[in-house]
Amino acid sequence: MDDLFSEYEVIDVDTHVTEPADLWTSRVPEKWRNRVPHIERVDGKEIWVTDGKPGLAPGQTSMAGFDGTPPDEFPSTYADIPSSAFDAKARLQHMDEEGIYAQVLYPNVGGFGSQNFLGIDEPALKLACVRAYNDFLAEWASADPKRLLPVAALPFWDVAESVKEIERCAALNHRSILFPSQPQDFGQPELSNPYWDPIWGLAQELSLPISFHLGGQAFLGVKEGEFFSSLGTMGLKAKFVQVSALAMIGNAIGVSELICGGVCHRFPSLNFVSVESGAGWVPMLVEALDWQWHNSGAAKEHPEFDLLPSEYFRRQVYACFWFERALLGATAELFPDNLMYETDFPHPTSMSPGPATIAQRPRDYATQALQGLPKDVVRKLLHGNAARVYGVK
């Protein structure tokens, strides 16, 4: 098969911007400067500290090309991180080198569902941090608005403020809305609760898809940062493997909630994207939902639902792939209109080769993994589906 990245304008639907050290200290009022996310040096490594609580190190989310493996080996400082992780012009150059036309942009510090801001006990400061991040990302993406597609964070703990922030971010050219896939893990109602309808309704009106990124939940019911406090006999890296793999499947909980809870039915033109979760689980989940829907009599319980779970999925839900091989072809054959390609750059599990990893360059992986698929399906997976969801012209 020819080089697919030369044949199509590839859209990478999951990448991350490593937040600059001064993102919040330069944008939030001075009275809060010591409480907003900022960088401190601990044992020779730079880490984020928010309201006195240590968080991730920038190097933990910026391991592209690094000679080491997660979670305990990572670049120590910004000087050790590739500039394409945090500099927009360098990112565009990296995209050109890899043959990628456009990238969708996600955060690190605030959490993959914005839940990390909940650690701040001052409501006005939490909101200020979200707004500062969204302003920064819009400015960062302005280096090329056609190719850099920002995803807006939300103060999801406040529906009224979330609605205001969606309106504001739409005007700033944000292309999607970030939301936790299991908000109940953070003391909020479940996705299917009509409590969230103002958010879904406005997102639908503005044609902004909802992004459920891996990590927008408490993995296995364990709070972030507590996984590795008790490893038993498993070992640190083996535990990281377990947590990482099961987190991907965890997004299936949110997807099933959207379908069985009637969100897709109530908002028929709103798109939902399961990000960094892989796609091989999709056929099993969808087939199981249809089986149980018939088998349990749910259709009688909800006569207002005019479609089967599989039909709601095909109409509105998307999954992303970046490393899969064994199940990718079969999944793409079944759901050619619901899969999109990502690299997860520059994360430790990204398609970013380094001396200690088995990752390939994106174009090499795609050319091999998509071999044998019809050209019209390949076009959808690498460009068409994402162009439709994110409004790429």
Strands lying side by side in the sheet with 53-54: 38-42, 45-50, 53-54
Nearest alpha carbon to residue 390 among 135, 169, 224, 146: 146
Nearest alpha carbon to residue 211 among 157, 121, 151, 138: 151
Q: Given a cut of 60, is residue 228 above it in pLDDT?
A: no
Give the tens place of pLDDT for each residue, 215-226: 888 765 445 555
The two tokens of residue 164 are: 């205001």
Q: Which residue has the higher pLDDT, 244 or 184?
A: 184
What pLDDT shows up at residue 231? 67
Q: pTM higher than 0.85 for the full model?
A: yes
Q: How confident is the model at residue 247 (pLDDT cuts 50, 70, 90)?
A: confident
* CATH number attached to the domain at 4-221+249-390: 3.20.20.140
Q: Where are the domains of the chain?
A: 4-221+249-390
The answer to whether 294 and 339 have CB atoms below 8 angstroms apart is no
Query: Hey, what amino acid is at 351?
Result: M
The C-alpha atoms of residue 288 and residue 298 are separated, in whole angstroms, by: 13
The answer to whether 222 and 120 have CB atoms below 8 angstroms apart is no
Q: How confident is the model at residue 239 (pLDDT cuts 50, 70, 90)?
A: confident
Give the tens place of pLDDT for each residue, 116-141: 999 999 999 999 999 999 999 999 99
Nearest alpha carbon to residue 315 among 277, 266, 360: 266
3-state SS string for the chain: CCCHHHHCCEEEEEEECCCCCCCCCCCCCHHHCCCCCEEEEECCEEEEEECCEECCCHHHHCCCCCCCCCCCCCCCCHHHCCHHHCCHHHHHHHHHHHCEEEEEEECCCCCCCCHHHHHCCCHHHHHHHHHHHHHHHHHHHCCCCCCEEEEECCCCCCHHHHHHHHHHHHHCCCCEEECCCCHHHHCCCCCCCHHHHHHHHHHHHCCCCEEEECCCCCHHHCCCCCHHHCCCCCCHHHHHHHHHHHHHHHHHHHHHHHHHCCHHHHCCCCCEEEECCECCCHHHHHHHHHHHHHHHCHHHHCCCCCCCHHHHHHHHEEEEECCCCCCHHHHHHHCCCCEEECCCCCCCCCCCCCCCCCCCCHHHHHHHHCCCCCHHHHHHHHHHHHHHHHCCC
Q: Given a cut of 80, is residue 17 above it in pLDDT?
A: yes
What pLDDT shows up at residue 223? 52
Pairing of strands 317-321, 272-275: parallel
**In whole angstroms, how far apart are CA 317 and each of 37, 51, 176, 268, 306?**
33, 36, 14, 11, 17
What pLDDT shows up at residue 287? 98
Query: Hey, what amino acid is at 122?
Result: E
**Mean predicted lDDT score pLDDT of the chain:** 94
Q: Tokens 């890296």 appear where?
A: 237
What pLDDT shows up at residue 307? 97
What integer is the mean pLDDT of 247-251? 88
What integer is the mean pLDDT of 93-111? 97
Q: Given a cut of 90, is residue 263 above it in pLDDT?
A: yes
